[in-house]
Amino acid sequence: MADEIRSSSGEGSSGGDRPARAPRPGGPGGREGGRKFFRRKKVCKFCVEKIDFIDYKDVRLLAGFVAESGKIVPRRLTGVCTPHQRRLSTAIKQARNIALLPFAGRAS
C-alpha cells in the first residue's frame, strides 16, 4: 500500500526510488552541526617534508603551530599526524620553558 502511494505521486519507476540528491557528507565526523561539504584531506607537514626531528630551537617552525593566544593548535586544524603532534607539542613546551615562545599572548 505504501508503495502505491509513493508511486502515484510520481517519484520513480522502481518502487521507492528517491530522486537523486547530492551525496551526503560523511567525511569529517558525521554530525558536526551542519557541515555540508567535504573538508579537503589535510596532510601532515612533517610527513610530507620528511622532517623527523622537531627542534625546540626552531622558533619559526613552531610558531606556525601556535595560536595567537599562545596555545598549541589541535591537530584536527593543522592536519599533523599523531606522532608528529606529540613531538611538536614537546618541542613547543621546551621552547616555552626557555622563553623562546610565550606561555600566553602573542609570539613576538
Partner 1 sequence: MNRTYELMFIVRPDMAEEDLEKLISTLEAQVTTSGGTVKSMDKWGKRRLAYAVRGFYDGLFVLLIAEGGGDLIHELERRLRVTEPVIKFQTVRVDLAQKRLAKIKAIKDAKKKTPPPAPSPAETGSEPAAAAAAV
Residues in contact with partner 1 by the rule CB under 8 A: 52-53, 56-57, 94, 96-103, 105, 107-108
User: Taking the complex as a whole, how short is the minimal distance between the CB of residue 53 and partner 1, in angstroms?
Assistant: 6
Residue 9 or 108: the one with the smaller Cβ distance to partner 1 is: 108
- Residues 57 and 89: their CA atoms lie apart, in Å, by 13
- Min dist CB 17 to partner 1, Å, is 30
Cβ-based nearer residue to partner 1, 73 or 100:
100
Q: Are 19 and 58 in contact (CB under 8 A)?
A: no
Assess contact for 72 and 64: CB atoms under 8 A: no
Residues 56, 91 contacting (CB under 8 angstroms): yes
